[in-house]
Structure 1
Amino acid sequence: MEMAIARHEHVLATRGALADAFDLRHRLPQAWEGVKAGRCEVWVVRRVARMSRTLDRHQIHIVDTAVAAALDEAPSRILSIAEAKVIEADPVAHQARIDKNQSQKGVWYPKPRPGAQVDESDSQAGVGTVFARLDEADALAHQHTVDDLATALAEHADVADGAEPLGMDHWRAEAFAMLADPAAVLAFLNSIDDTPGTSEVEEVAQQPSTPEVEEVAQQPSRDHRSPTTELIVHVSLTDTGEFGPVARVEGLGPRLLDQVHDLLRRHATITVQPVIDLHTGRSVNGYEHPTDVKHRTQLRTVGDAFPHATGLFNHSGRPPDHDHTTPYDKHGPPGQTGDHNDTPLTRHHHRAKTHLGYTVMQLGPDRWIWGTPHGLYRLVTGGGTRPITQAEYHLHTHQALTLAGDYAA
């Protein structure tokens, strides 16, 4: 009580701060040392302490080691890693969380509060609000249905000359409302299906034959309105060669393998693509990065490769610019384009690299060293950004030149 008064705050806030401090000092000592060294803001590790409070002293060591290694990364990355490790440390407890939430599903249609119709800051005039807690697989299926219907509505909307087209938020709302009348949805979809008997597969088959096209053409045709979802799952093996209990699903985050199974259970047809081995790479002689190279690069890096960038490609929905780390020389040696010379950047950071005097060299398929115009040096990997000294920078530069020579040879 006395400490709360001295801190000018409620006693519960002080109690929470004390709990976090004791957890950090005694249960997360590696992370606490990193915070004291200035590698991370305190609020981030306080949240990690709260997330991991139910773990025992053996389980929390897994979280402490992983978080301490990631303290130089962005807060969102640190919290994502902590979340995954908390699940990995006690999958039984996480399954209990899932079971509890399954019993608390529901949909709510709240009535407008008095005065909400004329509230200038948050007007509810003419609109309603819906809240829903669904099974994760059901929520994703509902999202894809709404997105597909909204896209169709937007494409076939009558837009007056000179008028601004409505945004996709509007059309998603229209699609969501339209689902209240399934017959109207079917009637609309049938009205725009004006090319029966023609499928995307048939169109592809008319193109010049390539191995990829031939493979697609042999597949049975299907209704283009059939819901399809690409699920990218990152898995790792334990020391015994078995799958670990936790996988990372692109766009969703860490999930138990049983949850991944549940995401797929509703689909009658599942196509499993070949496993992408991120240890392999290839190069080509042309300027454009091939699609498979871009895919591997984005899976390795997860997000923007600019120092301390926080943008995640699967969250923004906008593909990155795949910049040649070493500028492409049309008169240069073969094999300049590939995993060894690919820096994924958002457009803003791409322009900064091109025009503002930043230097970057690539140490491998997922490691870059950056130098800024004002003499700051950073090592960027698929795990985040780490400050390095000028001496380390020059050492890495020599390594990068050696690697570039090996690839050119």
Structure 2
Amino acid sequence: MTIAALPQQPPQAADEASASDLLNSATEALRARRLAEVAELELAVRWAVTNGHARDDRDPMLTPGGDGTPAMREHAIPELAMARETHPTTTRALLADGLDLVHRLPRTWAVVEAGRCEPWVARKVAVLSRALLSEQVVRVDRAVARAIAGHAPSTVLEIARAKVIEADPETHRAERERSRHERYVRLSRTDEYGYRHIIARITAGDAAWIDAMVDRVADILTTTMGHDHNHDELRSLAMGWLARPLDLLKLLVEHTDTEGSADADTDQPAQPRQPVWAPDHMADTVNRLCSLPARKLAKLRGRGRLFVHLTDDALRTGTGVARVEGVGPIDVSQLHEVLGHADVTVTPVLDLRMRRRVDAYEHPEVVKDHVWVQTGGDCFPFTPRSATRDGVDYDHAIPYDDTGPPGQTGPHNSGPLRRSHHRTKTHGGLTTRVVGPGRHLWRTPHGQAFLVDHTGTARLTDQQAIAMTEAIEDGVELYFH
């Protein structure tokens, strides 16, 4: 019996089959990721339900979601955040969005729950519609549920915004009027190269004038720096000149043609003409500036406060890294860009080996400085180290006892906490111990344990936490590798 050989699959067909498998896998991975996000939302909602009743009169309740969603214990949020290894604000947003989707946007939630759309789009709709009453949000839910599975996210969000306006036009008009009075100028976080963004909300007119002035200064800088900088770089440098009004005025005056042209008909000498950008009072203002003594001129620069940490070796060699509180690490050579021509106060380096302790409840400044330098920021688990020393409370890890032993206040028993984190520790059932310089051990009401130190936040087993607590009581710092 002869068996005919099966024809071999051509290479092109094999490639097509492989490509088809990859595409199918991509679709399956998409659905799996969406359903995983759905599961996370469901867990958050269940946590809210589990913590839907206050334990006592000192256990505050809040409603993360919009009208019609249930309340939950405020101090239950940080513990869920720790389990998720994220910040409480991020977890509160997840709770709010989950509760809104389940209770206020059920049609949209059904589409999300089936994995037929991106959960983040539905969460954005929940945020956009949160201010609406429960009976008003129905209009948004119906429209979004019809569109969210088949339209691009931008289209869905446009539909949601339109339905929010339709549902409550009076509130929209009031919000639009209120937004006219919301002005701000903010700084972004510093990137790894020491640069920041300036973000401002100003009138269109002021924005146009600032843009024109930046362009004018950039054009002037082109004559001296243009060979080494592109136009955007020069505009960035020009922004820095706006912070130095005296230097800016000098630059503009030196590079503005104030000589008028001669009158060809009368042969009269040219009359100085005032620059277009100059106000009518400029001449008087310049005269007043010229008459001011140097000390008063210096005050026109304004005052700022920055804490810069660097080693004596970096000062001596001009190389290395400096750490600027509120800015981050920068190259030492960039310090002149940060400090400019400012007057600098040099303070001595703290000797962290000293055991500074006081008997009073209040932390003296030298102890605050020691705790801050030793810890490096807010010591709450999974919290970014973006706080400043003036923006935190200095908390006693073991609560201060008026009848207790002396020396309860010091780096051995203190940690910097933002006010919200301080409240959570005090009223939320969390406990903490300082288990070494800059090392803070946290325990939650449901047995979770975390170590916060210079490496970040690490999860510990219950046995590790117990061993670390017992060791520090004997004066021993315990490390796990």
**Normalising to structure 1: TM-score of the pair?**
0.46
Relative contact order higher in (CA < 8 Å, ≥ 6 apart): 1
Larger of the two Rg values belongs to structure? 2
**Normalising to structure 2: TM-score of the pair?**
0.39
